[in-house]
Chains A and B, each alone.
Chain A
């Protein structure tokens, strides 16, 4: 299992950014996927989840209405469109696989991509 995030960078408050997560080594279309973030020196915060066929999507209240999760199963890719970014969105963003059959939780994680929101 390999998850590789990309798309992070420096953006001004109010700006937008689109993160991607390229998946390999497993049948991507069969798994729900998640984004989890970690502000510098802080703990983990769940951000968003999408089911295998995109029929079920959920967001943390802190990002609802500003972030959009999506996926392309043909491309084995997960995305996070982030709009109206705030300073407090600065964090490392991880994509993580939800393994429903055994653990029911996030069993594989990427190495993360850093998003910095600053003027």
Chain B
């Protein structure tokens, strides 16, 4: 069973800065099945990235995803106030469909 870990646990940054979030899988996974979600406080998760690097509908291009094998990265090029949230990676190849524990991006 695939286990996902995310780092750092918390990322303290200022608006306008670049955020780099990491997701590592316990074994090599297909890049076709790696997604990223954003969850703002009190809200449901929102799909940001699927297939490692494809942005979901309506997601601005300051969000980008890269990676392969066991190491994947979500980059937010210039943080805006609405981007301060928790971000989860997920592998969705075969059930179970594990999520990582999340990275919180908060204000420095």
Which residues from chain A sit less than 8 Å from chain B, CB to CB? 34, 36, 43-46, 49, 58, 60-61, 94, 102-107, 109-112
CA of A108 to CA of B99 in the docked complex: distance in angstroms? 16
CA of A46 to CA of B100 in the docked complex: distance in angstroms? 11
Q: How far is the CB of B33 from chain A (nearest CB, A)?
A: 7
For this complex, 21 residue pairs linking A to B, each with C-beta atoms less than 8 Å apart, are: A34-B97, A43-B101, A43-B102, A44-B99, A46-B97, A49-B97, A58-B96, A102-B50, A103-B35, A103-B56, A104-B51, A105-B90, A106-B35, A106-B37, A106-B45, A106-B47, A107-B56, A107-B57, A109-B44, A109-B45, A109-B46
* A36, A94, A105, A109: most-surrounded residue (chain B CB, <10 A): A105
Which residues from chain B sit less than 8 Å from chain A, CB to CB? 32-33, 35, 37, 39, 43-47, 50-51, 54, 56-57, 88, 90, 92, 95-102
Partner of B51, one of A45, A103, A107, A110: A103
List 7 tightest A-B contacts by C-beta distance, closest first. A103-B50, A58-B95, A109-B44, A44-B99, A46-B97, A105-B92, A105-B35
